[in-house]
């Protein structure tokens, strides 16, 4: 290992070396590496973006920036030539795309550019990836073998887990992902909270949960971008993010396959929890690609606290 890396990186641990040392299986290692490299191309696209709307809508009826489309195309094209991916499902596509020959074991899900509505504001945005073995339907705990996200902010960072802890890398000026935090661990109890949805639409149990967090002095941290908001909980080693069931949309807003499963995998690998309020996210069967679910994710204490409130107040 280590071939082709710069003198600078010889003194650091780069992504390839880390995965090799962690014993990640060869094909999975190459796939994760290729996706991380694709993040560099997406980041270049973001920089050259002219911020104009493409003027069409995706399958969920949302405005779609040209940037979403091009990030999706970049990812799909890169994965097509990996030789390891059978099917690709993206939040920007209305169906699963067969990109392999039929015998490859990996199925990749992508939210190619989550939070793209934040591009104009210059807040951080991100790419979310799930990697499944054999199928992407069924329970995530049975199908998922890895997950990662890339943040495009003041720094480009990549957080991955292949089931052996959750690790963060930073893209350095030489274009290499170098290890910045190995085995990130969430504290049992945090002190920040991040809340999606409007207060007037919350259910009584959720409202009581939030009221008690506020009374206990939790600090509000919400950017409206799922990747940086989860990243904050992870990198600050604790706290909770929720996008709850709302009165008019009991399944919340966020998508199980593209957004919630990868983040649940990463947070659990860091010692945290992720539920829909009651059930573990990795135990919710994926039945269709556009499926949504409420989410409570982060430190164990807050996620368990939410479960108690939802069970007591809403039964």
User: First and final CA of the chain: distance in angstroms?
Assistant: 55
Which of 100, 115 has the CB closer to ligand AFP? 115
Which of 13, 158 has the CB closer to ligand AFP? 158
x/- binding map, residues 115-154, to ligand AFP, per CB under 6 A?
Answer: xxx-------------------------------------
Which residue bears the tokens 């802890």? 165
Asked if 72 interacts with ligand AFP (CB under 6 A), we say no
Max Cα-Cα span within the chain:
61
- Close Cβ partners of 123 (under 8 Å, ≥ 6 residues apart): 115, 153, 223, 224, 225, 228
Dihedral, CA of residue 256, residue 258, residue 263 and residue 269, to nearest 10: 90
Which of 143, 232 has the CB closer to ligand AFP? 232
Asked if 203 interacts with ligand AFP (CB under 6 A), we say no
Which of 224, 285 has the CB closer to ligand AFP? 224
> In this chain, which stretch among 41-49, 96-104, 114-122, 159-167 interacts with ligand AFP, using CB under 6 A?
114-122
3-state secondary structure of 59: coil
State the Cα–Cα distance between residues 219 and 191, nearest whole angstrom. Answer: 6
Residues 205-244 that bind ligand AFP (CB under 6 A): 224-226, 229
Which of 115, 271 has the CB closer to ligand AFP? 115
One of 25, 62, 142, 188 touching ligand AFP (CB under 6 A): 62
Give the β-pairing of 273-275 and 295-298: antiparallel
> In this chain, which stretch among 78-86, 112-120, 181-189, 281-289 interacts with ligand AFP, using CB under 6 A?
112-120
Asked if 196 interacts with ligand AFP (CB under 6 A), we say yes
What letter does residue 12 receive in the DSSP assignment? S
Helices (H), 122-225: 140-143, 204-215
Query: Which residues of this chain interact with ligand AFP, rule CB under 6 A?
Result: 62, 114-117, 196, 224-226, 229, 253-254
């Amino acid at each position: 290992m280590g071939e082709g890396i710069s003198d600078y990186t010889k003194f650091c641990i780069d992504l390839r070396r880390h995965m090799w040392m962690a014993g990640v299986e060869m094909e999975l290692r190459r796939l994760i590496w290729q996706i991380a490299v694709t993040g560099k191309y997406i980041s270049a696209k973001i920089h050259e973006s002219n911020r104009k709307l493409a003027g069409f809508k995706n399958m969920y009826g949302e405005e779609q920036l040209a940037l979403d489309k091009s990030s999706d195309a970049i990812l799909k094209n890169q994965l097509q030539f990996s030789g390891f991916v059978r099917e690709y499902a993206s939040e920007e596509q209305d169906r699963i795309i067969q990109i392999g020959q039929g015998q490859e074991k990996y199925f990749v899900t992508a939210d190619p550019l989550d939070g793209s509505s934040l591009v104009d504001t210059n807040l951080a945005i991100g790419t979310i990836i799930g990697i499944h073995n054999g199928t992407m339907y069924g329970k995530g705990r049975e199908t998922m073998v890895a997950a990662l996200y890339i943040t495009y902010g003041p720094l480009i960072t990549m957080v991955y887990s292949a089931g052996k802890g959750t690790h963060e890398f930073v893209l350095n000026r030489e274009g290499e992902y170098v290890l910045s935090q190995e085995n990130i661990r969430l504290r049992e109890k945090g002190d920040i909270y991040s809340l999606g949805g409007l207060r007037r639409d919350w259910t009584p149990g959720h409202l009581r949960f939030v009221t008690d967090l506020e009374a206990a002095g939790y600090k509000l941290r919400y950017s409206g971008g799922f990747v940086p908001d989860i990243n904050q909980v992870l990198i600050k080693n604790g706290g909770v993010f929720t996008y709850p069931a709302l009165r008019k949309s009991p399944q919340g807003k966020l998508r199980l396959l593209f957004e919630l499963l990868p983040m649940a995998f990463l947070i659990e690998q860091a010692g945290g929890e992720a539920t829909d309020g009651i059930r573990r996210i990795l135990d919710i069967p994926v039945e269709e690609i556009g499926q949504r679910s409420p989410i409570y994710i982060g430190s164990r204490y807050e996620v368990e606290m939410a479960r108690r409130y939802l069970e007591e107040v809403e039964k």
